[in-house]
Structures are given as structure tokens and as C-alpha cells.
Chain A
Amino acid sequence: MAQAFGAQLSALRGRRRTRWRDLSPMRKREAKFGLLFILPWIIGVLLFALFPFVASFLLSFTKYNIVAPPKWVGLEHYAHIFTDDPLFVKSLWNTFVYVAGSVIIRIVLGFALALLLNTKVRFLGLWRTLFYLPSVVPIVALSVIWLYVLNARAGLLNSLLYAIGLPRVRWFADPDFAMLAFLIMSTTWVGVTMVIFLAGLQGIPEEYYDAAKIDGANVFQRLLRVTIPLMTPTIYLNVLINIIGAFQVFTQIFIMTGGAPRDATRTYVLHLFDHAFQYLPPQMGYSSALAWILFMIIFAFTAVIVATSQRWVFYQGGEAD
């Protein structure tokens, strides 16, 4: 998709602008049909993207509790967030930890599993299905199941630790372990990245490996010099998608801990959600300011990754399609 984005951008560049009055009657007819077909999306993007995007920016400068009309307060919320909201710093830090941990888990473990399955194993379809299966389970059910898995007294994970001779952990009572528990739970979705990487690996022509073998490259050299470079577009896109997603982690945290113990699992979106929907009176203006800061952070991360991608992402046959 990032590739499509780039392709779209370059398609725009250096293109002669088509003006409505220059179009022939036939082209006008075609254009009318096209606009008619995309009309639902145009209305949708105005209502569900542009309007909330602008409105939340404006609301971030107001006090707003839904019942009364918004009251302008200027930069008050932003000043408060940066100087007087310890939970902002805490939740942002927790979110960074979750983003770093879960993205590494999904990319590295997903890639490793895909490599394992790309060695002409038997029953490839079966393994792929088994690994992918947990990621289709609804998040609410997963949360309920994992609350039990991570139960300190009778949980599955502590039984596993016990079986290999390690001490039990009080996952959600111990601030040092609570976020780790969510990272362990995030292995549930490794199947998604694995399936994507596997499809990418299967698309690498066998000749490349044959050529590398003839040149005397061993398994690790082939991995480092052939497989990984050819997979960089897929890795790049998945890093991007997973980072954007992980920054917005919410549901499992809301259901399982609500931010406990001692705000050790309070993530950014949970903090934002609490201000808008849990606290009384609701602080929708403050929450909007938090949302816009999150947007800027995600935007900055995306921009940096996109900007540096040219240095490490290698597209086969030059330009993307």
C-alpha cells in the first residue's frame, strides 16, 4: 500500500492538469459517470474523515462536555498536557514500550516462522492455518481467555513457567510484569505477519538461490544477501502498518486491566478514552488535544520511516508499479 501511495504521488507529478472545459463531450460523459460512481465515498470522506479531522482540531482548543456548547480556552489543554499531566508522560512511555515490543515480536517472529514454512515442509497449508487461527478470534473473547491464561494462581502461563522450573509471576499485580504480559499476548497475531511474509518468500524466484549456491553462498549468506534484501518492501510495509496499529492499542488493555497496576499498563488511547468517556464531566476538549498529539506522533514516525525507506528498501526492477 505504501508502494501504491508512492506510485500515486509520482502519477500526480508532471501530469498536465485536465480541465473540465477542455474535455470532449464524450470525455465529459465519462467523467460524469466516474464522479457518480465515487459519489458515496466523496460524501463519506467529508462526513467521516474531513469533518472529524477538522472538528477535533478545533475542539482541542475548547472545553467541551457534550451537554453544553464548547468554550474556547486557547492553548490551555496543550499547556496542561505538557506541564501538568503525569499520566500523559506515563501513558506515552507505556505506549512506546508496547509499540517497540509488539512490532519486534510480530516482525521478527513472523519472519522466522515464514522462513521455517518456506523450506518445502509437508502440510504447509495446515501449519499456516494453525498459526493464523488465533488471530481471527474476536478481541473481547481473546481478552477474557488471556485473563485466565495470565491468572497468577491458576493460569496456563504460570503452569508453563512452573513446568520448566521458573517461579510464578503475578502478571497483573506486578507493575514490572504487566506490560510484558500484554507483549506475550501479542504473539497471538504473529500469524498475520507470518502469512504475509510467507507469500512474499514464495514469490522469490528459485534461480536467485541457485545462482547464490553456485557462487558458494551458505544458508546464512543466502538469507542475508538474497532473501532479506528482496523482502525489504514487504518488511517496510508491515513495520509501517504494525507501528500505526500498535500506537492505538486499546481494547485488550481496557478490558483486562483498565491501566492497572499503578498505571503500568495505561496506554495513550486508554488515557484519551478515559478523559472522553469515563470521567465525569466528560473532557472531550482535553481528549481531542490528546488525540491530535497522538496524530502528530504517528505522523512523525510514519514520515521518518518513509523518508529513510529509500536507503534500505530495495524494489526489484527499479520503480514500483
Chain B
Amino acid sequence: MSAATSPRSVLESNGFVLLSRLVGRALLYLLLIVMSLWFLAPLFWMIMSSFMPLDQVGVFPVQWIPRVWQPENYTDALKFWNFGTTFRNTMFVTIVSLIGDIGSCTVVAYGFARFRFPFRDALFLILLATLMLPFAVRLIPVYAAYDAIGWIDTFYPLIVPSFFGNAFYIFICRQFFLGIPQDLLDAAKIDGASEVRIFTQVMIPLAKPAIVVIAILSFQNSWNDFLGPLIYLKDPDLHTLAIGLYKFTSLPGQGGIYNQQMAASTLMVLPVLIVFFLFQKQFIQGANISGLKG
């Protein structure tokens, strides 16, 4: 009998396999923890620094826990920044765009998914092609056009386009509609339901998962938008949160006042984090749809 198959060495080698598997698992979790720290440290540090006294935010190497908790940083930051107004403006733009996006994209997607008409496939190809058009190419003519019709310093440039369909959201919604069995529609048709009724009372309720994904993408898009508000909104009363935060941190004398800057950033990030934790699954679905297949 060779040494390799003797009961003792089998036991030993099993022990070795077990041990190496254990070490492997430990390393895996260690790596995952290190990566989580890398991703989360800036956000954790933002929150902690937002409560620190000013002399503590300049200490090297950095400290994590506020020496004294100083919630006044928030009220101080708000003195220089009309948070209420910018928050209201952002909410307004976000909600109106959300309604526009959901309304227009479900309707258009339904048109592409459920009806046959000449040039349908060619038009859908154009829709996909517009996704690859860089925003820089559209920037100037669109700005000039808004300027010509007097829409600079209004919310129109930020909300009106959403009522004409977003190519990506239409794509998501169309894929979803295509997956709904035709029998359901035929049954509704036999019952004498009109096209509009089938759409609003059969399809829309069924498409809820796709609509939630669109709603989240639209919310993120409006809430985070910087370039749009930057060029279209000059009047401080119309500023959105993104512009408010940018203007606040670039105020003369704000350089290095990191505790207030972090307080202001926390105020802008918090609503997004709340929405994220409420709809985690849909956020991740949204990312998946955008990158996986189709």
C-alpha cells in the first residue's frame, strides 16, 4: 500500500484541504472588508467631519471621531446657502421630470412594442443610435434655441424634454412590454376594450417593475444634474441643490472650512441615500438593465 492512500495521510491531506479552504475564506472576507472600507470611508468621513470643530478638520493624520459634536456646522452652513429654496426647486424639477419621463416613455415604448407600422424597426434603430450621441454635440444649439425663445432662467429646459421621451427609458420599457404575453391583450380586445383602455388598465399595471426602474433613474438624473442647472439657471432664486452646493463651496472664504462643506454635502446626499436604501433592489436592477444585455 502506498503512503498516499494510507488512512493517516488521507486524514492529514483532508486536514490540509480544510485548512487551506478556511484560510482562503478568511482572506476572501478580509478582502471584501478592505474594499468596503475603501468605498465607504469617504462617506463615513464626510458625516463625521460635518460634526467636527474647525481646528479638528485640518489635523493630520485625519481623525475619525469628533472631539466635540458640533451640530451648529449645519446651521452655519445654511446661513450662506438658501437650502430651503434650492431644495424646493430641486424637488419641483425632479417630480415634474419624473412624471414627464414615466408618461412619455411608457406611451412611446408601448407604441414600439405592440403595433406594426411602416419604418418601425428603422425608427427604433434611430432611437438606439441617439443613445450614443455625445451631449457636447447637442449642448450649444439647444442652449441657443432656449435663449432665442426666452427660456434661460426658467425651469423649462430642465423639465420640458422629459415629456418627449428618453431613449434609454423607452428601451427599458419596450423590452418589458415585449415580455408580456400577447394572450392577455387578445383577451382584453375580445372583451371590447379600446387601445387606450388596454394600455392604461392592462399594460401600465403590469409594467410596474419597469416603471419603478425608470422612476429611479429619472430621479437620480434630475437630482444629480449639474450641467443643466449650471448653464440655464443664473437667478439664485431658481438654483437647485447641486448648484447651491457648488456655489456655497466656492464662496470666497469657504476654502478649508471643511466641517461646513461636509455638513452641506451631507444635506444633499442624505435624501439620495434614503431613497437608495428604500429601493436598493430596483437601483441594482436599473444598473443591470443598462449594462447587461438587451
Contacts and interface: CB of A to CB of B under 8 A. Distances in A.
A255 to B, nearest CB: 6
Q: B28, B139, B171: which has the most chain A beta carbons within 10 Å?
A: B139
A145 B170 contact: no
Nearest to A137: B269
A20 to B, nearest CB: 6
B91 interface: no
Contacts of B102: none
A55 interface: yes
A158 B108 contact: no
A72 interface: no
| Interface size range on A against B | 35 or more
Interface in A40-56: 40-45, 47-49, 51-53, 55-56
A41 B121 CA distance: 14
B-side interface mostly: helix
A134 B163 CA distance: 30
B29 to A, nearest CB: 8
B82 interface: no
A44 B138 CA distance: 13
Contact of B269 (A17, A33, A141): A141
Contacts of A31: 115-118
Interface in B201-241: 220, 223-224, 226-227, 231, 241
B108 A20 contact: no
6 contacts: A30-B116, A38-B112, A38-B123, A145-B43, A251-B226, A276-B139
A196 interface: yes
A163 B37 CA distance: 15
Interface residues of B, number: 100
A265 interface: no
Interface stretch (B11-19, B68-76, B180-188, B259-267): B259-267
Given A113-B35, A195-B284, A291-B136, 18 more contacts: A8-B128, A38-B112, A43-B164, A48-B138, A48-B142, A49-B130, A51-B141, A53-B138, A133-B273, A138-B242, A139-B226, A144-B262, A153-B60, A163-B61, A199-B292, A234-B292, A284-B144, A294-B137
Interface in A235-272: 237-238, 241, 244, 247-248, 250-251, 255, 269, 272
A234 B224 contact: no
B245 interface: yes
A190 B29 CA distance: 19
A155 interface: yes
A309 interface: no
A223 interface: no
Interface of A: 1, 3-5, 8-9, 11-12, 15, 17-20, 27, 30-38, 40-45, 47-49, 51-53, 55-56, 59, 64, 66, 113, 116-117, 119, 121, 125, 127-134, 136-141, 144-149, 151, 153-156, 158-159, 162-163, 187-188, 190-193, 195-196, 199-200, 233-234, 237-238, 241, 244, 247-248, 250-251, 255, 269, 272-273, 276-277, 284, 287-288, 290-292, 294-295, 298-299, 302
Interface of B: 28-29, 31-32, 35-36, 38-43, 45-46, 49, 57-62, 104, 107-108, 110-112, 114-118, 120-145, 147, 161, 163-165, 167, 170-171, 175, 195, 199, 220, 223-224, 226-227, 231, 241-242, 245-246, 249, 258, 261-262, 264-265, 268-269, 272-273, 276, 280, 283-284, 287-288, 290-294
Q: B114, B164, B242: which has the most chain A beta carbons within 10 Å?
A: B164
Contact of A4 (B41, B128, B288): B128
A130 B62 contact: no
A40 B130 contact: no
Q: Which 5 A-B pairs have the closest CB atoms?
A: A44-B164, A37-B111, A34-B115, A55-B141, A31-B117
A45 B126 contact: yes
